[in-house]
Amino acid sequence: MGITLLLGPARSGKSRTAVRMAAAWGGPVGVVATAEARDQEMADRIARHRADRPASWETVEEPIDLESALRKIPIDAAAIVDCLTLWVSNLIEAGNDDATIEHQAADAARMATTRSAPTIVVSNEVGWGIVPVDASVRRYRDRLGVVNQLWAEASDQVLLVVAGRVVDLARMDEIRDLRV
């Protein structure tokens, strides 16, 4: 069925869009959650995300081993990965080097292409702002950008979600091609 990558800024409606897409699947759904409730704000955010999903959906909470977490979702169930943004942060915090992060992202994306049910992947696009002063923040921005590109390459559909609205980036390629 393929992979759909949902990109956009924070609080743009990506997760809500992923839930709507998975609900439309009509079959079983599993969610890979990469967030950890390290403070009350994150605990509240996780609770809101859980409340937005049907209770019958299986959830695999895994902050680091994305490929294994995806393998826990039945192959005939739609899978939501929410989100690559926190996953990359978790990998950096765990001491992984850039090459390892990219290798793990490529492996997980490649494995997701073998699934018979849809895989919907959520990630933030963080590279639109000013260049961060701090080297560690620049590293995070750059790693996430590369990981997003790896997943986009493996995806059948890449959608930009802004203010709850969805733009098909392949359609933007068609528009660009017409102008050339």
E strand or H helix at 2: none
Non-local CB neighbours of 18 within 8 Å, separated by 6+ positions: 6, 80, 82, 120, 122
Name the catalytic one among 14, 49, 53, 143: 49
Give the CA diameter of the chain.
50
Is 49 marked active-site? yes
Are 29 and 19 contacting, i.e. CB atoms less than 8 angstroms apart?
no
The alpha-helical segments, DSSP class H, found in the chain are 14-25, 40-52, 66-72, 84-93, 98-112, 135-154, 169-179
Q: Which residues are catalytic?
A: 49
